[in-house]
Structure 1
C-alpha cells in the first residue's frame, strides 16, 4: 500500500473521519515487559503487509506484535491488563524541515470494534505518548497519536515555518490519513466510524480537524481546547511580564482567589457558593470590587498589587489601538498557572530575544502575522462538518486559567451567528461550561462522563448528549454531584424541592478577541 500525498498539504480529502483520564496521562517514553510469543500465521501475514508498506515522503520504522499485558511509562506509571496489539510507527516528511512521528496501535482482529480513534496531545507536544493509546486499544479501538512534528522539544519550531504548519494542523491530518490506511491494510477494511479525542492542545487539534478537514472524523471531543492559540499565548506573556514586575506570594495568590469566590458567591447556587465560581463572566465594576475585597482580606497586598490585578483580570489589549487581544484571568482561578508557555515567541523572534522586552504593539503584530494563520482554529463555518453528519462536543472549565473559557464561549456564539440558529448548531455541536473545573486539580467539578462514548452515541444512534451528570471526587469520595446543561443553559437551584434545575443562561458576556488577531487560516 502506498501512502500518497503525504508530501502535499492540498491532498485530496479522504471520506473515511475524553474520557478525561486518557487526555491528561503523558509519558515521554515507555518500556514494556514483553515476551517473545508466536503469532498466528494470519497475524504474521498482516504484519508482513504493513512492513512492506511504502510511504511517500516518509517511512515505516517499526511493525511488531506485542502480547505484554503491562506498559510502564518513563515516570514509573504502570498500565495493566493490556490486550495483545500490533504497534506501528511511522515517520513523515511532507516538506523539508518537517519531521512528524506517528504511532498506531491495532487490537487483534477479533477484538477490533471497527472504529478508529485519533488521540490528541498536550502542551507543545514533541513526543509520542503511548500510554494514551492503552485505554483506547483496551476498548477495542484502532488508535493513533503523533508528536505533532515538534520533537525533540518546542525549540524545534524556532524559525521553522514547516514545524508551525505541522503543529498547527498538518501533523494531525497526515496522522489520520496514514493511520486509516494502516487500519485498512491490517484488517482488510477501513473503519466504519472515526473519532477524535483530545484536550488542551488536543482540543485545538480536534477543532482544526473539524474546520480544515471535515471528512476526517465522524465525531470529535474537543476538551478545554487551546484553539485561539496565538492570542492565548499573548495572554501568557502579558501575565508573565506583569508577575515578573510585581510578584505575589502563595498566600497572596490564595487570598486573591478567595476574594473572587467570595464576591461571586451571591450569584451562585447554595451548593457551590463561596467554593468556586461557576460563571465567571464579569465587567469592569466586578474587577474593581474583587480587587478591593482582596486588599481588604490581605493587608500585605500593595497598590502595585492592585494595579497588577486590574491588568491580570482585564487581559491584554493592543498597546497602540486598544483592541482586545485576549481576555483576563477568570475569578477564582489560579494566577500562578496563567503564565509561562512562551515557546511560540521564540519560534518567531528567536532564542536571543528577551521575552520581557516584547511589546504589545508592533511585536504582537509580527507574532500574529507569522503564526496565527497556521495555529489558530477560529473558523466558525462548520457547515461541511455538519453536512457530513459530524458531531462535536466541546468543554471548558470555569476555573481554568491555562485555557480560560472566554475564547471557546465566544467561538460557540460565533458558530451560532454563522448558522443563524441556536437549534441548528445544537443539532451537531454541544458546548459545556464546567463549574469549577480547572486545567488540573481544581476547586470544583473534576469528573465528567465518558465524552467519547457520548459523541459516539450521538453520531451512531442519534442520542443527543443533553444533560451530563458531573461530579467532584476527592480521595475516592463524591463531594458534589450536579447536572450540567449545554451552554447557554445553566445549572440552577429549586429552593422548594432542594434540587438542581435547568435555568436559561445568557449568551455572550465576554469581550470578543479582535478579528485581526484571528486572521483567516492558510496552508
Structure 2
C-alpha cells in the first residue's frame, strides 16, 4: 500500500505560521480511534492510501499531501447510521476547517471535493447524511432518517470534525467554513439558522431551502404533464423554445449575446411559437404552451394563489436545461424522481403513490405538517448568526431550471427586512449569475470559484472573497466570472463578466467587447 506521507520542505517553513509548521505523525492518526464522540464512534483512522482514494474517484491522488483519514459512524437515534469522514492534513495544515455539503437526496460523501480541499491544506469533512445512494426510498417508514437528512447529520459531522481537529493538532481550528450548492445550499442555510456557532463563513449556492414548495411544484407539474399526452413538452422542442426566449429578451440588456442579464425584464409569451398547422420540433401546440406558462408561473393552490414562484425565462435550453430537469424523451421521465419520490417515501409512505393522486391543497398542507419542520430552511431570522460576526454569501444562476433564482432573492430580502439593512450589509451577500444553470454550466460566464478550482484572487473566487470577509473584514463587492474552454494547461478564458452584489445588475456600457467584464458596469436596478 502507498500511504501519503509527504514531508514539508524545510526551507519553506520559515514563511509559515508556527502552527502551520507542525507535522503530525501516523501514530497520532492511528490514535484518533480512541477519541470519544457523542453518540458516534470512530471506526477507522489511518493515513490515506492512494489506491483507496482512486477507488473513490478522487482526482490526481498522487499529488495530494499526506493526510489522516478518519471514518465515523454516527447513531443519534436507534434508526440512524450516518457515515462521516474527516480528513486532516498531516503537514502544513492551514488552521481551517472547510466542510462539504450534498446534492439531491444526498446519500454519498463528495470525496473528490474533499480531495481538492485537502490539496489546499484545509481540514475537511463530509457525510452521506444517514443513508446510501441518492434515491428517496431511504425515508420510507424512517422518520429519524428524515431528520438526519434534513439537518441532524450535517450538524453532527461539524461537531465531530471540530472534536477530532483539536485532538489531532492539539488546538482548535481558527475558522470554520461550509460550502455547497442545491440541497447543500439548503444544508448551509439550515446551519446558519439552527446552529449559528458551527461556521464562521457559509457559501450557499442555489439553496433548495423551500424544500416542500419545490417538491410540491415537481408533483404538480408531473401530474399536469401526465394528465394528457398533449401537455407533455418533448426535449426535442426545448431548443426552439429557448431560441424564441432569446429572440424576445436577449437584447433588452443592451447587447445581443445569448445571455439575459436580468430575466425579470423579460415577459415572454410562448404563444409566439404556436404551431400554425400540424406539429413539429420548432413550434408548440396549445397544450404545450399552457405547460410552459405553468412552469413560468409556479405551483398554485386551488384558489389560484401562487405559493412558489416559477422559473424565469432563459433557463430552457442548454446542457442542464429543461430537457434534463423538466422534460425528457418521454412523458414523466424526470420530475417524478423528486415529486413522486418525495410524496411516496417522505409523506405518504406508499411506494406505489403516483402524481395522478396529487391534490394541491390537501397534499401541500400534509407535507408542511409532516416534513417541513425537518426539511425546510425558510427562517430569515439570522440575528444570532449575524451577532457572532459570521458571514453568509449566496449565489444563484438566473438560468437555473431546478430551483427558481427568485427564491434566493426572496430569502435575501427576508433576511434584510428581519435583521435590518445595516446589519445585513455587514453579514450577507447575494450574487445572481446571468446565464448560469443549476450551480454551474450555461451560456454565461459561470466559473467564479464556486467549485473546487480555487484561485488566490478574491476578485475571481467567491470562496476566497468569503474568507477575506471573515478573516480581514474586507467585504466582497463586484466579482469577475469567467467562461473557459479546455482544462489544465490548455484552459483558455473566452469570456469574463462582472458579478454584481444584489440588488445591482450588470449593464453594458454601450461599447466595447461584450466578452470582456470591463465593458459592463454594475448599477442599481
TM above 0.5: yes
Deviation at residue 324 of structure 1 after TM alignment: 2.4
What secondary structure is seen at the aligned counterpart in 2 of 1:258?
helix
Shift of 1:463: 1.2
Correspondence for 2:306 among 302, 319, 324: 324
CA contact (8 A) 2:4 2:47 kept: no
Q: Which has the higher contact order (CA 8 A, sep 6+)?
A: 1
What SS class does the counterpart of residue 54 from structure 1 fall into? Answer: coil
Map 1:162-173; keep pairs closer than 5 Å.
162-173=144-155
From 243, 246, 264, the equivalent of 1:281 is 264
- String of CA shifts for 1:460-489, please: whole Å, max 9, x gaps: 011111010012223444332111110000
Asked if residue 213 in structure 1 is aligned to residue 211 in structure 2, the reply is no
- Per mean C-alpha deviation after superposition, the further-off stretch among 85-94 and 241-250 is 241-250
Q: Equivalent residue for 2:377?
A: 377
1:312-357 deviation line (CA, Å, top 9, x unaligned): 21111112x3332222232121323133423321221121212332
1:479 corresponds to: 494
Shift of 1:70: 8.8
Contact 2:106/2:129 (8 A) holds in 1: yes
Determine the structure 1 residue equivalent to 2:122.
141
Supply the distance in 2 between the matched residues of 1:267 and 1:70 (Cα, whole angstroms).
Answer: 52
Deviation of 1:77 (Å): 5.6
Out of 488, 504, 508, the position equivalent to 2:524 is 504
Structure 1 gap segments, 5+ residues each: 1-32, 506-523
Change (3 A) 1:113 1:42: closer
Structure 2: distance between partners of 1:410 and 1:36: 46
Q: Is the 8 A contact 2:261 2:506 kept in 1?
A: no
Q: CA deviation at 1:80?
A: 4.2
Q: For 2:493 and 2:398, how far apart are their aligned partners in 1? A: 20
Match for residue 108 of structure 2?
A: 127
Could you tell me which of 448, 461, 468 is aligned with 1:450? 461
What displacement does 1:187 show? 0.4
Offset of residue 50 of structure 1: 1.0
Q: Does 1:97 align with 2:79?
A: yes
> Within 2, Cα distance between the matches of 1:207 and 1:433?
17
Which of residues 238, 258, 268 in structure 2 aligns to 1:253?
238
Structure 2 CA distance for aligned equivalents of residues 44 and 474 of structure 1: 41
What does residue 224 of structure 2 align with? 242
The CA distance in 2 between the partners of 1:154 and 1:251, in whole Å, is 29
Distance 1:78 1:445, change over 3 A: same
Compute the displacement of 1:34 (Å): 3.0
Q: Could you tell me how far apart the structure 2 residues matched to 1:76 and 1:104 are?
A: 15
Looking at structure 1, the residues matched to 354 and 250 of structure 2 have their Cα atoms a distance apart, in angstroms, of 41
Other-structure match for 2:470: 459
Whole-Å separation in 2 of the counterparts to 1:323 and 1:118: 39
Is the alpha carbon distance of 1:79 and 1:293 closer, same or farther for their aligned partners in structure 2, counting shifts above 3 Å? farther
CA displacement at 1:106 relative to structure 2: 0.3
Q: Give the equivalent residue in structure 2 for 1:365.
A: 365
Is 1:303 matched with 2:286?
A: yes
Q: CA deviation at 1:304?
A: 1.2
**Mapped partners of 1:430, 1:38: distance in 2:** 38
How far apart are the structure 1 equivalents of 2:88 and 2:271? Answer: 54
State yes or no: 1:489 paired with 2:504. Answer: yes
Answer yes or no: is 1:34 the counterpart of 2:2: yes
**Secondary structure at the residue paired with 1:495?**
coil
In structure 2, runs of 5+ residues without a counterpart are: 8-21, 316-320, 327-334, 449-459, 514-518
Is contact 2:86-2:125 (8 Å) kept? yes
Change (3 A) 1:277 1:495: closer
Pair 38,198 (structure 1): closer, same or farther in 2 beyond 3 Å: closer
Q: How many matched pairs?
A: 465
Which is further off, 440-449 or 404-413? 440-449
Q: Residue 313 of structure 1 contacts residue 331 of structure 1 at CA under 8 Å; is this kept in 2?
A: yes
